[in-house]
Amino acid sequence: MKPSVSQLAAAPDLAFAVATKEPKKMRTPLILLFCALLAGCSKRPATESDAGKEVAKATPAPTPMPTPTPKPPADTLESILEAAARGEAAAQAKLGTMFAEGSGGAVKDEAKAAEWLRKAAAQGVASAQARLGVMFAEGKCTPKDQAEAVACMEKAAAAGNAAAQARLGVMLAEGTGVPRDPARAVELIRKAAEQGHAAAQFNLGVMLAMGNGVTKDEAKAVEWYQKSAEQGYAPAEANLGGMYAEGLGVTKDEAKAVEWFQMAAAQGHAVAQFNLAIRHAGGIGTPKDEAKAAEWLQKSAFQGYPAAQFNLGVMYANGIGGPKDRVRAFVWYTLAARQNDPEAIVEKNALDVLMSDAQKEEAQKILGELVGKMPGK
């Protein structure tokens, strides 16, 4: 079975860089001028006319300095609120991010996030424009509006914001809210990739591997997957494993494939978990270990990956990596069949004929419990 490869990612984990502090201003050194103009400070020779004269010059009492009002530390929610209320764009962007994420002492509030991000975006803060674009694209606190999302992203991308370039590139590649334009998509994604944006590096690799908007170049695809994978980006690790497994753009190396699949699988990447399971099951690039194969299939199948669900059903049906279990085989075939896996539909129907009513009842109970625990349910 060939390894599955992830396709273009929308990069939901956009990294928005927001200034947390205003740039430091140069301070003018305070020069204290001490003028001792007290009596006798400037002397002249005494004369007879001065005799008997008493010179009485009162020294004024020093005026007490007012006690300064304590200011909150520079990075507290209170201080950022104050700065944002004064119209400081960086503080408004920071505050919008804090409310969007529920960070820095702010309670998550997407309405407030949008309010402050709008203010910062209006002042030209690219990171705020980019994040606001995401909110429009995903319908968070604002009606879903892909055209408005594109408008926000265009402004941020033009200012060089890597996250906006990456996201807008995917929108152009897929024709989301804007006419499909793979060539411009590649241009924007490349700009973000060159700034070190991991998801953009991955997506540029995908487009090069597919020849989408650019001349197909599997070797270049591997280079960009490598850059992204070295930052720990799981989809790139998974695809890099696939390239090594198939010998695409690189010398085939099953051991390296397993290494990269392992890294992605450890981060919860369902496709990598499936591919790793297949290698453990067949002893490809790693010693054969059916128990580990079952373990990784279970993880992938639980995330809803249909190929893993089907293969897990096969293992239960045939007692691979553990005892035979017709009921659990039926459960996993059923889940894969619900996603229109043709082989799963056939195997599920075949088992249905062989199972007793008690087994079917048990399967339905397990199925209900399992679905209730699966991500996104």
**CB atoms inside a 10 Å sphere around CB 245:** 24
Task: For residue 360, give Cα distances in angstroms to 16, 181, 319, 328.
Answer: 50, 51, 19, 10
How far is 322 from 302, CA to CA, in rounded Å?
A: 18
pLDDT of residue 322: 87
Q: Which residues are CB-neighbours of 47 under 8 A, at least 6 positions away?
A: none
| Neighbouring C-alpha atoms within 13 Å toward the C-beta of 239 | 34
| Neighbouring C-alpha atoms within 13 Å toward the C-beta of 145 | 13
DSSP conformational letter for 132 = H
Q: Which two tokens stand for residue 252?
A: 């085939």
Q: What is 48-111 written as a DSSP string?
A: GGGTT-----PPPPPPPPPPPPPPPPTTSHHHHHHHHHTT-HHHHHHHHHHHHHT-TTPPP-HH
pLDDT of residue 4: 53
Angle subtended by helix axes 270-282 and 306-318, to nearest 10? 30
Q: Which residues are CB-neighbours of 315 under 8 A, at least 6 positions away?
A: 281, 290, 293, 294, 297, 321, 322
Angle subtended by helix axes 89-101 and 110-122, to nearest 10? 160
Asked if 335 and 309 count as a contact pair (C-beta separation under 8 A), the reply is yes
Asked if 155 and 182 count as a contact pair (C-beta separation under 8 A), the reply is no
Global pTM value = 0.78
Helix, strand or coil for residue 306?
Answer: helix
Q: Kindly give the confidence (pLDDT) of every residue in the chain, 377 residues in length, as a single tens digit, with 9 standing for 90 and above.
A: 445 545 544 433 322 222 222 223 322 232 222 232 223 333 333 333 333 333 333 344 455 555 454 454 568 999 999 999 999 999 999 999 999 999 999 999 999 999 999 999 999 999 999 999 999 999 987 788 999 999 999 999 999 999 999 999 999 999 998 999 999 999 999 999 999 999 999 999 999 999 999 999 999 999 999 999 999 999 999 999 999 999 999 999 999 999 999 999 999 999 999 999 999 999 999 999 999 999 999 999 999 999 999 999 999 999 998 899 999 999 999 999 999 999 999 999 999 999 999 999 999 999 999 999 999 76
Q: Which residues are CB-neighbours of 364 under 8 A, at least 6 positions away?
A: none
Q: Which two tokens stand for residue 336?
A: 């894969």
pLDDT of residue 74: 64
Asked if 181 and 188 count as a contact pair (C-beta separation under 8 A), the reply is no
Residue with tokens 């205003």: 22
Q: Where are the beta strands (DSSP E) in the chain?
A: none
Mark residue 254 as left, alpha or beta (left: phi above 0; alpha: psi -120 to 50; beta: remaining): alpha
pLDDT of residue 56: 36
Asked if 238 and 264 count as a contact pair (C-beta separation under 8 A), the reply is yes
CA dihedral 122, 125, 128, 133 (to 10 degrees): 70
